[in-house]
Amino acid sequence: MSKHDCYSCAAPNSMHPFKGRSFNVNFKQMNRMVHSLNGYECAECAEIEFDAPSAERYARAGDELIEDAKQVMADEMKRIRRKLHFTQKSAVQLLSGGGHNAFSRYERAEVEPPKPLFVLMRLLDRHPELVRELQAINECTDINALLVQKQQQRHE
């Protein structure tokens, strides 16, 4: 391994070899480390260039992370829904709206849950006592009271 010019910033002889370093792959906020990677790093701009086997391992680790992350999210959606004693149908009615089979699709990792829904599920996992608020929230008594105010303002 010898020095060569940087493909990114074109600094001459700036690519220095490295061996056995660890790099992070990430997907959304999920990440994992890939170890023992070899390649070159630019002394000027910090551009990284892996050698061919390391580039392949790094790319594969990224693909595996995405696949695993999608499955973990799907499994979490199912685990939390069951813990809260919701059917897929009642979960749609109380939490997500949308198509009647939305939760089924999330739980089969067919589509990723929207971030606000995934955050809400994880909050309810930590605070399942909040489930009892859902009925009231869905009845919209508070929102309807605000609507009455709006109507009154409109006719003032």
Q: How far is the CB of 72 from Zn ion (least distance, A)?
A: 36
Number of residues that bind Zn ion (CB under 5 A): 8
Strand partners, 32: 25
Q: Site map for Zn ion, 45-84, x if CB under 5 A? A: x-x-------------------------------------
Residue 8 or 93: which CB sits closer to Zn ion?
A: 8
Is residue 8 near Zn ion by the rule CB under 5 A? yes
- With b for 16 or more beta-carbon neighbours within 10 A and e for fewer, the 112-151 pattern comes to bbeeebbebbeebeeeeeeeeebeeeeeeeeeeeeeeeee
CB of 8 to Zn ion, least distance (A): 5
DSSP 92: I
